[in-house]
Amino acid sequence: MTLIKKIFKKRNTPILTTLTITSKNGLHLRPIAKFVNEVKQFNADISFVVDDQEIVATQVPAILSLSLEEGDSFQLKCQGEEALEASAYLTDFFEKMMQEDRVEQEIKQVEDSYEALTIRGKTVAKGIAIATLTLYETRKITQTRDTGLTIKDAIRRAKEELYDLYQANKTQHEAQIFLAQKELISADIFRYECPTVRKFLEIIKEEVARLENTKFASRIPDYRDVEQRVLKHLGMTSIVEVPSKPYILLTKDLLPSEVMNLQNTLIEGVVLQTGTVTSHASILLRSFGIPSMIIKQPLETAQRVILDANSGNLILAPTANDLRKARDKQKQFKAYQEESYKKRFENTKTRDGKTIRVLANISDYKSAREAKEEGADGVGLLRTEFLFKEEKPSFGEQVIAYQKIFKLFNLLTIRTLDIGGDKSLPYINIPKETNPFLGVRGIRFSLLEEVLFKEQLLAIFKAFQMVMPSAKTLKIMFPMISTVEEFNKAKGIALEIAQEHNINLSNIEFGIMIEVPSVIFSMKEFNEVVDFYSVGTNDLTQYIFAIERTHPTLIADSTSPIILSALRMIAQQAEKPISICGELAGLEEVTEELIEMGYENLSLSAKLIPSLKEKIRHV
C-alpha cells in the first residue's frame, strides 16, 4: 500500500473532485443511469455535492432533480476503504461519458412555401401528412381487474418489461431509453419507500415537481411512463380513444409507451405543443418514421391540415393548390422510402446468385403478423416467453397461441422456454443466484422444471399437427445448451412425449442455440446429433467477453474481430444447416462478411428485413 493510500485509509478523509458537465445534453437520465451503475462497484460512500446539497450517488431520481446543465459543476465526494480508487476511476469514467454522450442533431428543414397561412414549427421527424388534426383526449385510469400483485411485484414486472423492450430494440438507438427507465425505477426510493400504491404515486408526484420549469422537464414523461407501467400490472389501465380514420395528433406531450402504442393506429403525424427534439418521445417518433413537429403556440383542431415536417410548416386551411403540392411531395417522399420495401417479398439473391433466407425474430402473434407483412421468408426465432410472463398458461392456451403463428409461415424455428438470468416467472420460485447468467437458465431451467417442459413440448407438437404439417418444417431449438449430454437429454424427453402421444416427427427437427462458448469446442460431437444450429450472437458475445449483456456501461462489441473469428470457426466446423438469430444478423455493415463465411440464413427484427434484403441483392 502506498503512503497516500495509508494516509487516506487511516484518516478516512473524504476525497472531493470537481466535475463539470460538458455534454450539450446536460446530465440527463441516460448518462446518470450509466454512472450510477459504476458507483455501485466500489466499497465507498460516494455522493454528489452541489451547493449545500449532498446526494447519495446511487439515487437516480435525486441526481436527475439537480437539473445539471452544460457548464454546471458538482463535487464528487468519495469516502471509505476504496475512496481513492473510486475517485480516480469515476472521474475518468465521467469525463469520457460526457465526451461520448450523443447529441440529437437538429433536423435541417428544406425551404418551401404554401399559399395559405403557415405556422412554423421545429421538426422532430421528417415526412408529410394530410389528415384531420385531432386533439389527444385526457387519459383515464380505470381499475379493470385485480391482479393480486403487491406494489413491489408490480414494480418488478415493470422493470422486466422495460428490459424486454431494451432487448427487442437493442440494435436501435432508442433501446437506451428503456434501459434508462429501468434504472430509474430501480432506485432505492422505489425499492424501499413504496409500501403502498398511494406512497408510490406520491413519490412520482414529488419527483415530477422537482423537474418542472427546468431544462429537464422533458424527462417528466419518463416518470409518467414508469408510473403507468406499474399501474398496468396492478390492473389499472389508461383508456385512450383514437379516430378510426387517418389522423394527425395534437397533444401537449407523449409518453414513450404511448408512442409505442400509437404506431399501431392510423396515425399520420404528430404535433407536440411542449417538449424538445431530444425528449424520449421525440426519439421514438423519429425511429418509427412518424412525421412530427413541435409547435408551442396555441392550436385548435381542424378538419384537414397539411403537416410538412420536411419544411417545418403546418397549414391549417390549405388551398387546392397547397393540397396538390403536398400530395406530390408526399408521393415522392414515400416512393423514396418504399424503394426497397416494395421488393420485400421477392427472393433474396446475391449478385453471384446465392440465395439467402432472411427470417424474423418474433415474440408473439402480433410480431409474427408484422414479420409476414415485412417480407420474412420464415421465422428464425420464436421466443415463447411471451406466453408465460403474467401467469402460467394452460395447455390449451399454448396450443392455440402456437397454432396461430404456425399458420403464417412454412418455415418455423421455435425456441423452448428461456428462463433464468435476467428473466423470471412469478409463479415459480427460482432460488436467487449470485451470478444468474452463469446459473440455472435456458435448458437447465427446463430440465429442472420437467413437467412444464413436457407440457410445452406437447403443446408445440399438437399445434403443429393442426396446421397441415406436410407443407411446413418446424425446428425446435433448445436454448443455452453447453454439452452434448444436455441436448441428448432434452431431445430424449421430446421423443418420449412424441411416442406417448403418437406424434409424427417427419417434418420436425431438433437443434440448438450456439451461445455458450463450450459448444464451439465440441462441434464434432454436436454434428452427430443435432439437425441444425442457430447462433445467438447476443449471449455468445456476452460469454466470450465475460460482460453481462444488461450492463449499462460495459459494452461488448458484437462486431469485434474476436466475435467474427468465432463465427467463422463455427461456420467452418458446422456440418448441419446454420443460421444467425442475434442482433448481429441485422447489422448491414457485416452482412457481406457473414455471407462470405457461409451463413445463408439470417434472422432479425421484422422492421429491418426489407432494407437487409436490398443490401444482400448488392453483395
Active site amino acids: 280, 581
Other C-beta atoms closer than 10 Å to the C-beta of 293 total 28
Secondary structure of 11-57 in HEC code, one letter for each residue:
HCCCEEEEEECCCCCCCCHHHHHHHHHHHCCCCCEEEEEECCEEEEC
Contact 583, 569 (CB under 8 A): no
- Report CA-CA distances (Å) from 379 to 87, 182, 340, 401, 525: 49, 29, 20, 15, 27
- Radius of gyration, CA atoms only, the chain: 26
- Report CA-CA distances (Å) from 200 to 218, 230, 258, 289: 21, 9, 21, 34
Q: How far is Cα 341 from Cα 139, in angstroms, rounded to an integer?
A: 35
Contact 63, 55 (CB under 8 A): yes
Other C-beta atoms closer than 10 Å to the C-beta of 82 total 16
Phi, psi of 550, rounded to the nearest 5 degrees: -90, -5
- Report CA-CA distances (Å) from 331 to 47, 319, 325, 487, 566: 55, 18, 10, 53, 45
Q: How far is Cα 89 from Cα 341, in angstroms, rounded to an integer?
A: 47
409: three-class secondary structure by DSSP: coil
* CB-based contacts of 292-296 (< 8 A; 24+ apart in sequence): 292/123, 292/124, 292/125, 292/127, 293/121, 293/122, 293/123, 293/124, 294/121, 294/122, 294/124, 295/119, 295/120, 295/121, 295/122, 295/271
- Report CA-CA distances (Å) from 15 to 20, 34, 58: 16, 22, 17
Q: Checking phi first, is residue 73 left (phi over 0); if not, alpha (psi -120 to 50) or beta?
A: beta
DSSP letter string, 79-106: ESTTHHHHHHHHHHHHHHHHHHPPPPPP
Dihedral angle computed from the Cα positions of residues 242, 246, 248 and 253, in that order, rounded to the nearest 10 degrees: 30
Other C-beta atoms closer than 10 Å to the C-beta of 60 total 25
Q: How far is Cα 426 from Cα 418, in angstroms, rounded to an integer?
A: 14
How many helices (H) and strands (E) are present in the chain, helices listed first?
Answer: 22, 22
Q: Which helix (H) or strand (E) holds 474?
A: strand 473-478
Q: How far is Cα 210 from Cα 66, in angstroms, rounded to an integer?
A: 8
Contact 526, 573 (CB under 8 A): no
